[in-house]
């Protein structure tokens, strides 16, 4: 496991399991592996100082999510919370457990950023021109060969905007790596329940249309 502490308004412990990443990100996902490794030493910290954060976005997106009461990731979460007593925070317990013991988890607290000129309609969507940034709690390449962008939410069933957060994280990872959005899946979870959905391009079209209507009212 390789790690670096990133000072992005708070200290984020970015960790990669380099062997799993190398194995799971071969061929079509080689750009993802390169991105993860490059961030260890060359993360552009200036993009994380100002601008919107994925975790603070407060608008809903038009997606249909599935609810899972006995998902694998919830079981892993439960194990991490029970066994990783040498870590103080629930996030660290879950993240480090999965990175160490789950065969599909390749990185945790993965830094991600999106510049305004990289997304059509950025300013209308976020009411901002400074970069969107954030950290992906759990990044997995699962048995379905999809790249899963997961966020751990201790009270997942009460979350209103978690889907928005992981949607833009997956969209950003797609834009950073050039890997088709169709190869990504999104989810958020706790030890009891998980919610999943497929990120679609049409979400952006609907958001832009919605913002346009709001401005004309």
Average pLDDT of span 59-65: 94
Domain that includes residue 94, residue range: 2-216
Q: For the chain, how many structural domains are there in total?
A: 1
Q: How confident is the model at residue 208 (pLDDT cuts 50, 70, 90)?
A: confident
Tell me whether strands 132-141 and 105-114 are parallel, antiparallel or unpaired.
antiparallel
pLDDT at 213: 80
What are the structure tokens assigned to 197, written together? 């959905």
pLDDT at 10: 85
Q: Which of 85, 111, 7 is closest to 49 using CA atoms?
A: 7
End-to-end CA gap in the chain: 52
pLDDT at 5: 96
pLDDT at 78 over 80: yes
Q: How does pLDDT run across 85-142, given as a tens digit for each residue?
A: 999 999 999 999 999 999 999 999 999 999 999 999 999 999 999 999 999 999 999 9
Q: How big, in percent rounded to 5, are the helix, strand and coil portions of the chain?
A: 45, 25, 30
Average pLDDT of span 156-164: 97
Q: How confident is the model at residue 211 (pLDDT cuts 50, 70, 90)?
A: confident
pLDDT at 61 over 70: yes
Average pLDDT, the chain: 96
Please name every residue paired with 107 in a beta bridge, in sequence order, or none if there are none.
16, 139
Task: Report the SS3 class of residue 43.
Answer: coil
pLDDT at 210 over 90: no
Report d(CA 75, CA 157) in Å as an integer: 16
Radius of gyration (C-alpha) of the chain in whole angstroms: 17
pLDDT at 217 over 90: no
């Amino acid at each position: 496991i390789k790690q670096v502490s990133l000072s992005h308004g708070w200290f984020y412990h970015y960790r990669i399991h380099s062997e799993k990443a190398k194995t799971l990100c071969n061929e079509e996902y080689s750009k993802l592996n390169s991105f993860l490794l490059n961030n260890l030493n060359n993360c552009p910290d200036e993009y994380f100082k100002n601008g919107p954060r994925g975790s603070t976005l407060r608008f809903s997106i038009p997606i249909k999510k599935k609810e899972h009461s006995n998902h694998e990731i919830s079981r892993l979460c439960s194990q991490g919370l029970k066994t990783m007593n040498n870590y103080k925070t629930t996030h660290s317990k879950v993240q480090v457990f999965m990175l160490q013991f789950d065969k599909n988890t390749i990185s945790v607290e993965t830094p991600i950023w999106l510049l305004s000129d990289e997304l059509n309609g950025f300013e209308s969507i976020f009411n901002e021109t400074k970069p969107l940034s954030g950290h992906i709690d759990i990044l997995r390449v699962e048995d379905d060969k999809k790249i899963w962008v997961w966020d751990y939410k201790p009270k997942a069933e009460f979350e209103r905007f978690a889907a928005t957060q992981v949607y833009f994280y997956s969209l950003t990872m797609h834009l950073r790596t050039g890997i088709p959005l169709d190869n990504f899946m999104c989810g958020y979870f706790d030890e009891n329940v998980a919610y999943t959905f497929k990120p679609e391009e049409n979400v952006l079209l609907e958001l832009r249309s919605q913002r346009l209507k709001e401005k004309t009212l």
